[in-house]
């Protein structure tokens, strides 16, 4: 066997151990010390041939495969390559994960279930890269195949990911269509006894809410909370509470909204779900900005914490959403330049396909431009954002953008165009415009 570097062997050993789901103590067993395994994985020791054989036996692989590097990796089973891809995706190494999933599909004689998992991984990698349309197409193909097979229930998590891609693309009516169809199937099979099923319900409720169908959204969330309590599932309850906090805040019940979000955040922190914590900190920051008076410093601190987390484990659109709220915090602090820069960063992170979130970021950017005295650019930005939201069917968000545009035009002395903007807002959801509205636009599903 050729001699690998200490770091090559360390990386390979660490990957095999994680793929097998072992701790360092379990891998060490009686033959080695935990500290020695730790030093090997850190690349600070070179193993003896006897040590390699002992480790390989514990990992269930050939010593040559653990030792040999590229030659060993060629022979690596597809299922193990799949696991490495999933680990890379969890670690935010999206390009590496994508390549590993592709190599699984290129291998000979791959089990059907492993193929499905690899295709699902590719779709997740595409979504993480902001290639939402490709990801949605990949998810749809997987779901359509599952409908015709006995494994439909096992594909529910794929249905949710598909719905979230559609949500980010702004295809809210399609989210409702796909999600409602899946829920009918759950009713038919009497198969609501899972956290995944309740997460699907919450996702559909969020889409109804953005479409202005508040009564339907509230009904679904009440049903979701009841089902979560029957299931005695803390994660399902946390997901429903996360979405319920949106509705409470929208209804002006800001204290209740904070309490709901706090309970959800506490659960996700305890469970170590870092990406969910980062995403929920975005929502929590928004709720703090909606308090009267706005709790700007506290919101900024939590948003910066969330951004740090999402740089480690989040996707571009997760960071984009959070940066939009961070921009809003700086705007409320009277820092339009910083707000404008953060909104630009949000747009860059979101990518070109996240239509709904881009419109929200555009609205904050326009408000920052207005605060800096760049009226014409601000009006253009508001007009673009509100028009995009209207086309997407996000009537509640569109109304907010039109109201904010109307207030801006009124401040600039352009009363005729201000009146037209207020009429657009009223037409969107029969909303009566009020002076001085600075409400943020609504939030993403949990």
Task: Record the tokens describing residue 413, joined without a space.
Answer: 């002395």
Cα 271 from Cα 335, distance rounded (Å) = 36
**What does the pLDDT read at residue 382?**
84
Instruction: Enter the pTM of the model.
Output: 0.74
**What does the pLDDT read at residue 1?**
44
Q: In the chain, helix, strand, coil percent, each to 5?
A: 75, 0, 25
Buried b (16+ CB within 10 A) or exposed e, 155-173: bbebbbbbbbbbbbbbbbe
Q: What architecture (CATH level 2) is domain 6-76? A: Orthogonal Bundle (1.10)
**What does the pLDDT read at residue 119?**
95
C-beta atoms surrounding 59 within 10 Å: 19
63's CB contacts (< 8 A; 6+ apart) are 49, 52, 53, 56
**What does the pLDDT read at residue 10?**
81
What are the pLDDT tens digits along the chain (446 aa)?
Answer: 445 566 777 877 887 787 677 788 888 888 888 888 888 888 888 888 788 888 888 887 777 767 764 344 444 578 888 988 888 888 788 888 898 899 889 887 888 888 999 999 999 999 998 899 999 999 999 998 887 776 666 688 999 999 999 998 889 999 999 999 999 989 988 889 889 999 999 999 999 998 888 899 999 999 999 999 999 989 899 999 999 998 888 778 888 999 999 999 999 998 888 889 999 999 999 999 988 899 999 999 999 999 999 998 888 889 999 999 999 999 999 999 999 999 999 999 998 888 888 988 998 999 999 889 898 888 888 888 877 877 777 667 777 777 877 877 787 677 888 888 888 888 876 654 444 343 443 445 66
Fold of 130-247: 1.25.40
Q: Sketch the domain layout of the chain as residue ranges.
A: 6-76, 130-247
* Helix or strand (DSSP H, E) at 286: helix 274-289
- Residue 253, phi-psi category: left (phi > 0), alpha (psi -120 to 50), beta (remainder): beta
CB 408 within 8 A of CB 379: yes
């Amino acid at each position: 066997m050729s001699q690998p570097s200490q770091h090559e062997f360390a990386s390979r050993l660490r990957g095999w151990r994680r793929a097998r789901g072992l701790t360092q103590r379990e891998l060490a067993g009686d033959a080695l010390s935990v500290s020695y395994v730790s030093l090997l994985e850190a690349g600070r020791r070179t193993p003896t041939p006897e040590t390699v054989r002992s480790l390989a036996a514990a990992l269930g692989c050939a010593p040559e495969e653990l030792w040999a590097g590229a030659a060993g990796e060629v022979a690596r089973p597809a299922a193990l390559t799949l696991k490495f891809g999933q680990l890379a995706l969890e670690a935010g190494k999206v390009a590496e994960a994508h390549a590993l999933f592709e190599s699984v599909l290129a291998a000979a004689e791959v089990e059907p279930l492993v193929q499905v998992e690899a295709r699902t991984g590719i779709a997740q990698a595409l979504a993480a890269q902001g290639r939402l349309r490709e990801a949605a197409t990949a998810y749809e193909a997987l779901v359509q195949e599952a409908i015709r097979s006995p494994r439909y229930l096992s594909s529910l998590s794929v249905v949710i990911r598909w719905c979230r891609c559609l949500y980010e693309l702004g295809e809210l009516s399609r989210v409702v269509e796909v999600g409602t169809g899946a829920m009918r199937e759950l009713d038919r099979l009497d198969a609501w006894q899972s956290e995944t099923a309740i997460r699907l319900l919450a996702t559909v409720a969020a889409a109804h809410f953005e479409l202005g169908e508040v009564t339907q959204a509230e009904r679904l969330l009440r049903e979701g909370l009841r089902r979560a309590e029957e299931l005695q599932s803390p994660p399902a309850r946390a997901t429903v509470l996360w979405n319920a906090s949106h509705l409470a805040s929208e209804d002006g019940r800001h204290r209740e909204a904070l309490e709901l979000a706090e309970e959800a955040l506490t659960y996700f922190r305890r469970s170590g779900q870092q990406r969910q914590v980062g995403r929920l900190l975005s929502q929590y920051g928004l709720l703090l900005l909606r308090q009267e008076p706005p709790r700007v410093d506290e919101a900024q601190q939590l948003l910066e914490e969330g951004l740090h987390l999402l740089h480690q484990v989040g996707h571009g659109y997760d960071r984009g959403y959070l940066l939009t709220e961070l921009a809003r915090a700086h705007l409320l602090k009277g820092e339009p330049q910083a707000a404008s820069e953060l909104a630009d960063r949000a747009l860059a992170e979101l990518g070109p396909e996240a239509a709904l979130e881009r419109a929200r970021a555009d609205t904050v950017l326009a408000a920052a431009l207005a605060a800096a005295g760049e009226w014409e650019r601000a009006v253009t930005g508001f007009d673009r954002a509100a028009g995009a939201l209207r086309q997407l069917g996000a009537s509640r968000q569109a109304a907010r953008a039109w109201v904010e545009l109307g207030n801006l035009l009124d401040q600039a002395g352009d009363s005729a165009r201000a009146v037209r903007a207020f009429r657009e807002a009223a037409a969107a959801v029969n909303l009566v415009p009020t002076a001085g509205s600075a409400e943020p636009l609504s939030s993403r599903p949990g």
